[in-house]
Structure 1
Amino acid sequence: MTDDLPLTPDAGWNALYLDGEWTGPGDRDLIDVENPYTREAIAAVPAGTSEDVDEAYGIAAEAQASWAAQPPQRRAGVVEAAIEHVTENWEGILELLAVEAGSTRVKGVAELQTAKGMMQQAASYPFRMNGEHADSIVPGKENVVERVPAGVVGVISPWNFPLHLSMRAVAPAVAAGNAVVLKPASNTPITGGLLLARLFEEAGLPDGVLNVVTGSGSEVGTAMAEHPTPRVLAFTGSTEVGETVAAKAAGNCALPALELGGNNVHVVTDRADLDRAVDGAVFGSFMHQGQACISINRHLVHEELYDEYVERLVERAEALPTGDPTDEETVIGPVIDETQRDTMLEFVEESVDAGATLETGGDADGLVVEPTVLSAVDPEMEAACNEHFGPIAPVIPFSEEDEAIEVANDTVHGLSGSVHSQDLEQARRIADGIHTGMIHVNDQPMNDEPHVPFGGMKESGLGRYNAESILDEVTTTKWISIQREPREYPF
């Protein structure tokens, strides 16, 4: 790798990446990429079209077979080289995440560490695509079951953790011998898409194996989902859009791999260690301005601890440094855009109008939304029953374990959650009772480990990422039987 791999915002990102070539805008419209803190344009990328998607899928289909035929050490070596590029360009990537996605230093580092871990897992996949040999009920027959690449994988990724949530699908798919077409979010086309193209290009990935089409969800995203070529369509985003994507993919018998919205609870029982519960609450609610599908959306706190919990949470929220995400001291940076800001503040206002108490926050300076705590919250209030996706902590009281479980489950979502109790049997009872794909005892919901399956129940998604789970998503099995001796047929 070259030590001067250009990763600055002005490093020529105004292109699609097709068949190993950086394709300029031509007569396509341009989409400005704006810094969410300053609202200044830092770059412009082509507004790709459905024709670009069709071309990208055709290129991927053409490149996939020869890539799948490469020995496992070759495919693993490309991913390992890409990991080296991430490490050597750590600070440049952090800057890109800050100015494009509004990522604070602590969030950017966490995202990079997780993405790197995903890539390290992926580098092992070429050596883990094991098949099996099975006896046959037919005399003289041999059965072999192989694990083979799915073929072409389409990836539609979001803006909140753009590098991580693109890489967790792209790296495993490539490592397993697939070709990929990636559509990043229009807010974060660099860190969610073009950056990955540059990293894998430098790593020696053959032309056509990874293609990136930037553009709007309405045109490029729709074309990605309804195209007949991909065998897997990986999507991370809202439940509403994900259900549409899944329907379009399933119409072509493509496998939808979905990680969708959440309405995660942080249950604080009467036997909780309050210090630990509040520590987890602050991180789980305010990390990356609450812009995570696995952040805390509802705080369910036992009535005996309720008042003190609210008091401590308010004190901690008011002490969080806010402002420019490029300042290493900042904890609360900007949310991604005006639409997101206005929606979350409307949820707060509507909840206060319905009887909630605004303990702190509730306003914004530009796109920097104040850390907000609401008390006296009813589960049906807007800030609690919706995925607010902001630095907002609605605190709901409860009196009995069964009540906490009932409130926790009163949602279409089932992604993550957390339970605090020094009585681990109590914590486990509650955790077992909550219908969610992931739940964490004496911690908070924002956990993602590369070697542990990640995904949700109900309308929070289909399938799982990470570990063997994502390998199952991007591969399929093929049964080959060999009749070694003449077979007797009944006619």
Structure 2
Amino acid sequence: MNQYQQLNKSFINGKWVDGTEDTTIEMHNPYNMDVLAKVRIASLDQVNEAFYGAREAQTAWGKNAALRKKVMEKAIQYFKNHKADIMEILTLESGSTTVKANLEFDLTTGVMEEALTMVDKIGKFEEKTSMIPDKINENYRLPKGVFSSIAPFNFPLYLSMRTIAPALALGNSIVHKADLQCGLVSGSVVAKAFEEAGMPSGVFQSLLTTPDATGDAMFNHEAANLVSFTGSTPVGRRIGKVAGEQLKSMSLELGGNAPFCVLSDADIDKAVDAAIFGKYLHQGQICMMTNRFIVHEDVYDSFVDKFVARSKEVKHGDPRDPDVIIGPLINEEQMEKSLNNIQKAKDAGYDILLEGEQIGNILTPTVIGNVEHDSDLTQTEMFSTIALIIKASSDDDIIAKANDTEFGLSSAIFSKDEEKARKYAMELEFGMTHINDQPVNDEPTAMFGGMGQSGIGRFGNPYVIDEFTEGKWISVQKRAREFPF
């Protein structure tokens, strides 16, 4: 048994506690449906306890840069010392293949190490020139306070730590709610790392609970100063409504509909290499994942032939096998949605170039060609191994079709002409565009975030500092000022 299967509890004010709701939920391995753990759900009273405890603990934490640095350094070392067990629970709980688990682990430790560079930003000032004689202007960054952090199931460890690490480094405290499907790796692993690192009681709280038990408390609790959420756009809109009524700060990374644009002069072999990774990593269950391949008609047949051939070769099976690329979808509901989308494509008369096979909770690649760019299907986030291919009449048409969506998270564009690609990249209405690469990219110093219905705010250093702190201006008049009256 993996050591983290025993940490099936919430972590509130420095103690591991069972939930006080009457509900117990089983956590399953999505590959074989084995029960990994049983969790007693935290109640609304415990949510309140966590938020008030976080508020009480935050002030001292925010004032102690040396302690923040020490705890973060020890937490990073904890992760490195327990990499094998953390990788295993990622696989058992989320269906992560070896490639994906390695990527997620490296992203997690990377964002923690980058957060260390932010510790000293709190309480230090930047001096600015004043228009008024003999005045000094000082611009400070202060902790924002208590963060409500809500994480998804797909990159559960990294997408938790992407908020948690910089927020803690910048002197804030955290009340964190994992998606229960991955509550051990997203909640308990993080809590254990900080507990072992000497985190003061109350600074980090981990709640294993459900929306049915908590209602909107994670979105509008009086003690929360900022709500950080990664997940669907409908839930993001709900957060915007209830948190916005209290003028709370929000950091929302929401849905995507990433286009992979193959221009007329693209290197097709290299584009297909990127396309395979950018579609099938983690079974396509990534908000940045390619949702639409938009291909110039001159290279359409070549791209399709090579992409289908490569898709047939992608190995599927038990994600514990290091050669496996496609493991299970997260649950039966996601499988049902995927099968329904395939049926919609058939009903619409699109080309089923490769039809996937359901094997338990695994769906092998499905490739659908000549899809209408403005169809319901192309406006749906697949979140699975279904590849939609759209034919375009020109490079300009590719960009127009790519922009025909309410979402604007990530995008990709392939061309041998870098300057032409950069010009088109600036026209793509997405927060991120990757030239001659696929759209699934995240780095701790890059400006990460979406446009349109894909979210609010930016991650990455230094951009996240503005998001996760309060600015304060102090001016000092060095010599008596002369006033006009």
What range describes the TM-score normalised by the shorter chain of this pair?
A: over 0.9
Q: Tell me which of 67, 78, 86 is aligned to 1:85.
A: 78
* Aligned amino acid, residue 427 of structure 2: G
Residue 9 to residue 147, structure 1, CA distance change in 2 (3 Å): closer
Identical-residue share of aligned pairs (%) = 39
Question: SS state of the match for residue 216, structure 2?
Answer: helix
When structure 1 is superposed on structure 2, of 91-100 and 375-384 the one drifting more is 375-384
Cα distance in 1 for partners of 2:419, 2:140 equals 43
The residue number in structure 2 matching 1:76 is 69
Cα distance in 1 for partners of 2:303, 2:175 equals 47
Indicate whether 1:150 and 2:144 are aligned. Answer: yes
Q: Tell me which of 72, 93, 98 is aligned to 1:100.
A: 93
Structure 1 residue 218 displacement after superposition: 4.0
Structure 2 contact 264–394 (Cα < 8 Å) conserved:
no
Residue 357 to residue 363, structure 1, CA distance change in 2 (3 Å): same
Structure 1 unaligned residues grouped into runs of 5+: 1-5
Please show how residues 289-438 of structure 1 align to structure 2 within 5 Å: 289-438=283-432
When structure 1 is superposed on structure 2, of 268-277 and 245-254 the one drifting more is 245-254
Q: Tell me which of 190, 193, 199 is aligned to 1:205.
A: 199
When structure 1 is superposed on structure 2, of 276-285 and 324-333 the one drifting more is 324-333
TM-score norm. by structure 1 comes to 0.95
The residue number in structure 1 matching 2:42 is 48
Cα distance in 2 for partners of 1:487, 1:312 equals 74
Please show how residues 244-283 of structure 1 align to structure 2 within 5 Å: 244-283=238-277
Deviations 1:293-323 (A, max 9, x none): 0010000111111112111111111111111
Cα distance in 2 for partners of 1:155, 1:335 equals 24
When structure 1 is superposed on structure 2, of 40-49 and 55-64 the one drifting more is 40-49
**Alpha carbon RMSD of aligned pairs, Å?**
1.7
Structure 1 contact 347–382 (Cα < 8 Å) conserved:
no
Structure 1 residue 237 displacement after superposition: 0.3
Question: SS state of the match for residue 182, structure 2?
Answer: coil
TM-score norm. by structure 2 comes to 0.96
Aligned residues: 484
Cα distance in 2 for partners of 1:132, 1:218 equals 46
When structure 1 is superposed on structure 2, of 103-112 and 41-50 the one drifting more is 41-50
The residue number in structure 1 matching 2:118 is 125
Q: Tell me which of 417, 442, 445 is aligned to 1:448.
A: 442
The residue number in structure 2 matching 1:3 is none
* Aligned amino acid, residue 272 of structure 1: A
Please show how residues 61-72 of structure 1 align to structure 2 within 5 Å: 61-70=55-64, 72=65
Question: SS state of the match for residue 205, structure 2?
Answer: strand
Structure 2 contact 292–390 (Cα < 8 Å) conserved:
yes
Residue 96 to residue 137, structure 1, CA distance change in 2 (3 Å): same
Residue 141 to residue 26, structure 1, CA distance change in 2 (3 Å): same
Cα distance in 2 for partners of 1:452, 1:7 equals 34
The residue number in structure 2 matching 1:159 is 153
Structure 1 contact 302–398 (Cα < 8 Å) conserved:
yes
Deviations 1:204-232 (A, max 9, x none): 11111000111113443621001121111
Structure 1 residue 22 displacement after superposition: 0.5
Question: SS state of the match for residue 118, structure 2?
Answer: helix
Indicate whether 1:239 and 2:233 are aligned. Answer: yes
Structure 1 residue 266 displacement after superposition: 0.6
Structure 1 residue 327 displacement after superposition: 1.3
* Aligned amino acid, residue 361 of structure 1: E
Indicate whether 1:113 and 2:106 are aligned. Answer: yes
When structure 1 is superposed on structure 2, of 151-160 and 74-83 the one drifting more is 74-83
Structure 1 residue 381 displacement after superposition: 3.4
Cα distance in 2 for partners of 1:270, 1:357 equals 22
Residue 312 to residue 402, structure 1, CA distance change in 2 (3 Å): same
Structure 1 residue 7 displacement after superposition: 5.3
Cα distance in 2 for partners of 1:307, 1:93 equals 43
